[in-house]
Amino acid sequence: MHDVPFWLWIVFVVIVVVSLAVDLFAHRTAHTIGFREATAWSAAWITLAVLFGGVVFLVVGTDAGVEYTTAWLLEKSLSVDNLFVFALIFGYFQVPRAYQHRVLFLGVLGALVFRGLFLAAGVAVVSSFTAVLYVFAAILFWSTYKILKGEDESFDPGRSVAVRLLRKVIPVRDEYAGPHFFVKEAGRRVATPLLAVVAAIEAADLVFAVDSVPAVLAVSSDVFIVYTSNAFAILGLRALYFMLAGLLDRFHYLSYGLALILGFIGVKLVLQATHETVSTAVPEIPSLVSLAVIVVVLAVSITVSVLRPPAGQDENA
């Protein structure tokens, strides 16, 4: 655990709250977000995450800074899978582009809360029962296998538990009512499909947390490091989605890169658990090496995807 001053937690909370407020104010009017606007916002979120990482380096120390950077980049890369699911959900519910940002904004708020709970629980379990790292490693190895074999579980938005529970709690109408989540019909309050979309987004994040939480805990067991890195990665998801919405299919080798990263992190967890529970003679993989591996694998995956487009796709398209 790192010696993190309390004021740095306060700074983090203030940054997140102010950033969300600015984002909400900038998008107070529903509109279609174009590539240029999304790129500008994505650059802003990345800059904010990097600057905060610099503060971590200066205040908490080099080791903490490397762990933060590694965890942030890992979560950022794993979140690419979320973008594919966002596209699937929006297509399934035929969500107008002008309302998609509002849905993702609420999705981000939910993700910040649930990830915080999961990560805190994960850190507590690892601290008291180190052998659980073997279980986390098994989860990552299984995810790696499914991706490489093309057996990754498909996500059906309409059949997700969250959406089915929502329909049991409150009636959901078939038509949208602008950006509203609720309307009154015949004197009773009913939900619009937009609320069902939020439920589907939150359900998808819970599914992805199964891989994400064990992976980031392999980088650090410090609550401050794992949560702040996850939070900054999550905050930039909306802008990244709108920036890459039309380009996701081009990065067809990225899934294999993510599989390799998950496998590597699984090995790191096994070595870490064995080092702490069996023998200290078993080597551990330093965070700096993990960071280098993630950067190289992502760079190679993206480069190969660009140089070798999918069969039947025009390279100049």
List, for residues 76-104, the tens digit of each pLDDT value.
888 777 777 788 788 888 888 888 888 88
Nearest Cα neighbor of 157 from 192, 196, 102, 210 is 196
Q: How far apart are CA 226 and CA 218, in angstroms?
A: 10
Helix (H), strand (E) at residue 10: helix 6-26
What is the pLDDT of the chain when averaged over all its residues? 85
Give the start-to-end residue ranges of the domains of the chain: 6-307
Q: What is the pLDDT of residue 246?
A: 61
Q: How far apart are CA 212 and CA 170, in angstroms?
A: 31
List, for residues 182-216, the tens digit of each pLDDT value.
888 878 889 888 888 888 888 888 877 877 888 88
Check whether 108 has a pLDDT greater than 60: yes
Check whether 237 has a pLDDT greater than 90: no
Q: What is the mean pLDDT of residues 99-117?
A: 87
Q: What is the mean pLDDT of residues 44-66?
A: 94
Q: Which has more confidence, 311 or 167? A: 167
- Locate tokens 């965070």: which residue? 287
What's the pLDDT band for 314 if we cut at 50, 70, 90?
Answer: low
Check whether 317 has a pLDDT greater than 50: no
Ramachandran bin of 20, using left for φ above 0, alpha for ψ from -120 to 50, beta for the remaining angles: alpha
CA distances from 23 to 16, 74, 205 (A): 10, 24, 21
